Chain A
Amino acid sequence: MSAGGAADAGRPAPSAAGAGPDGPLLRVRDLGVSFAGPHGEQLRAVDGVSFDLAAGEALGLVGESGCGKSLTALSLVRLVDEPPARTAPGSSVRYRGEELVGAPPSRLRRVRGAEIGFVFQEPMTSLNPVKRVGYQVAEPLIAHEGLSRAAARDRARELLARVELPDPERALRAYPHELSGGMRQRALIAMAIACGPSILVADEPTTALDVTVQAQILELLARLRRETGMALLLISHDLAVVGEVADRVAVMYAGQIVERGPAAELFRAPSHPYTEGLLRAVPSIERRDRRLAVIPGRVPAPGSWPAACRFHPRCPYAWERCATEAPPEAALDEEGGRHSRCWLVAEPARRAGHGYVEVGG
């Protein structure tokens, strides 16, 4: 047993049932992560991110590359190296009511392995090339639940069968390079759910896979969620992927959540111009006649985020206020289910006469 693993040994504490009356399973408030810039200034790569995740719920986190999605996910389990990064004061991540910001490392290691599981984008490189798949799937059980090698291997076989890997017995003995991308992603999912986490964070789980395999993996994630009742935080730049799986969606832009709400409503009637732009850029089979729109420009780097509303230089509706005052997260309805970080919520009349320019002839 490794020195670091000593604190992890022993049986897992039985998880408290549900979230209880005191809130959701995971409650994130004002999460901020910053890096020191080249001139010593603090660049806020994640800024004031707040969201809730209820037990068994699927939340989609959407945004272009570089907008802080993965950083948000990693900082949930305090896996952002500090330094160079810095967590903003006032950030709060509560898991079952327990504050994780500032929690002791041994506790965090337990949370990572056994309570919050992760699946990453790159199945090709996320497995150790010199260890057999069977050992890698069994290792969390050995480290966190103190199972013997033989027992862990039996459980690993079951897990591989559960993620629908053909011929689990053979996969146990295989090295990662002997498996295909889809099979490796299944093995990684098996590792992530080995200790029965109550939250599974999937960071672009299908991006590196081809389309048919993508669909299978999404289906697998949905089925595992149904069977185990674990919550799913699905991070993707692909709206189609998120729309297929998520109950609720949060859209990120330049380190902030700009809009969040139930998936169906958000996709049907986007409120924030950025969400609208993303949706207008997705081709649709049902509406072949519709032309696609393009959001002009690109996501700026963390050092050069515009003042006030960060989207205003690219926004077709922007007016003076957007460049001078930062919009607050405003509720769109009475229940508080939908929020948008845009002045249009306060001044809806400004929408008229503007909009995205469609491309093509």
Chain B
Amino acid sequence: MIGRVTDLLLPGARDLRGRPLRGVAVLLAWIGLWALAVLRRDRLLATPGAGRPDWWIALLGLVTALSIVWRAGRPRATGRDPAEPDGEWAAVRAAFARHRLATAGLTLVALLALVAVLTPYLAPYDPAAQGADLVATRFQAPSWAHLMGTDRFGRDVLSRVLYGGRVSLLVGTLAVVIAITLGSLVGAVAGYARGWVDTVSMRTVDLLLSLPRLVLLITIIAFVDPSTTLIIVVLGLTGWMGTSRLVRGEVLSLREREFVQAARVLGFGRARILFRHVLPNVATPIIVAATLGIGNTILVEASLSFLGFGVPPPTPSWGDMVLRGVRDMHEAPWLVLFPGVAIVITVMSFNLVGDGLRDALDPRASREAAP
């Protein structure tokens, strides 16, 4: 019974039967997380400016995150119950867990996500609050009071990096969701329909790819009032072409496979064949593309902000912080250092996960691992 529940919450935690403690730990962690979300939703949804941190809540969240990562990072027990057919995911999970760097990347990504969710509790100061005495509080070097120092307005850099991370992750994830959805749709339809549909959409892709993305972005943003939503949408709309090519190629080869022929013989309509039979087979390259895409999008967003076309102030953003830190770099190098390091770590974590997934999902590698 409990096994069923953990199955629902976290697929893969089902070897509860073999290792009850770990299963229960996972279950409790999830309950804790949900309780947190439900009971303290006001704090979670709070905008920048929430006062002192609730350390015990942050601690609970960290424990939750670590237990999830610990569980997900473990290869599955080898002696599987043969009566319980597992998907190909079991082999993928095992292959992924063998990939040390990828596991490290996943841990970092999970931590970053958790920190982003819990930012209102973790941030020691209001990221917009300026010191009362500007001269005394500005350009303070990192200290116990301000772990990452303060900027030229006396604002706490740590708090700003934390809130900036929220924005970066949100923008990166949502933009990639838009890009992947659009790219998969265009690619799938083009590859399955072939003919003029394929020609028109792929030549459009070629055209869009021939324009430098940053220039395209700046041009669009220059015409409209920038907002976080706009940045997300525009990043999504300029990032789908690679995915559509990838998906088209896969669909072109999949549509000739026997099981697609078999689906046609069973009298299924085109939409059913495409979305129920062909696309699920492209899921793995799409997942890899999405993971790598998030890192890339965060980088592009930071570049945009650095050029002054990103998420508009006062919303803190890593790229914007680097931009504004550059002129004070000689007095206060931490202004550039910490947001820069944050960008590097985040992008690298996503790329590590993407690389690990690509290796784990490689058919040649997973064949050996398959039962």
What residues of chain A have their CB less than 8 Å away from a CB belonging to chain B?
A: 2-8, 74, 77, 79, 108-114, 118, 120, 122, 125-131, 139-140, 143-144, 170, 173-175, 177-178, 188, 191-192
Contacts and interface: CB of A to CB of B under 8 A. Distances in A.
Query: What secondary structure prevails in chain B residues at the interface with A?
Result: helix
Contact of B85 (A112, A128, A139, A173): A173
Contacts of B276: 2, 131, 139
Given A125-B259, A126-B259, A128-B277, A77 B269 contact: no
B85 A77 contact: no
Interface string B196-215: 00000000000000000000
A203 to B, nearest CB: 10
Interface of B: 83, 85, 87-88, 257-259, 261-273, 275-277, 280-281, 283, 370-371
Nearest to A1: B272
A7 B73 CA distance: 47
Given A112-B264, A144-B267, A177-B370, A4 B258 contact: no
A118 B277 CA distance: 18
Given A170-B85, A173-B85, A109 B268 contact: yes
A79 B272 CA distance: 17
A120 B261 contact: yes
B266 A113 contact: yes
Contact of A5 (B258, B265, B271, B280): B271
Contacts of B280: 128, 130-131
26 contacts: A2-B272, A2-B275, A4-B273, A5-B268, A8-B268, A79-B264, A110-B267, A112-B265, A113-B266, A118-B265, A120-B262, A120-B265, A122-B258, A127-B259, A128-B259, A128-B263, A128-B277, A128-B281, A129-B281, A131-B277, A139-B268, A140-B266, A144-B267, A175-B88, A177-B370, A188-B262
Nearest to A140: B266
Contact of A174 (B85, B257, B271): B85
Contacts of A5: 268-269, 271-272
B268 A143 contact: yes
Contacts, number: 103
Contacts of B281: 128-130
Contact of B267 (A3, A6, A112): A112
Contacts of A173: 85
B269 A7 contact: yes
Nearest to A194: B266
A130 B370 CA distance: 14
A3 B271 contact: yes
B269 A175 contact: no
B87 to A, nearest CB: 6
Contacts of B85: 170, 173-175, 178
Nearest to B263: A128
A144 B268 CA distance: 8
A13 B182 CA distance: 39
Contacts of B277: 128, 131
Contacts of A191: 262, 266
A118 B263 CA distance: 10
Contact of B270 (A2, A77, A174): A2
Nearest to B280: A130
Nearest to B279: A130
Q: Identify which of B83, B85, B87 gathers the most chain A CB atoms within 10 Å of its CB.
A: B85
Q: Identify which of B88, B263, B264, B269 gathers the most chain A CB atoms within 10 Å of its CB.
A: B269
A264 to B, nearest CB: 31
Contacts of A111: 267
B58 to A, nearest CB: 40
B202 to A, nearest CB: 20
Given A130-B280, A140-B266, A4 B271 contact: yes
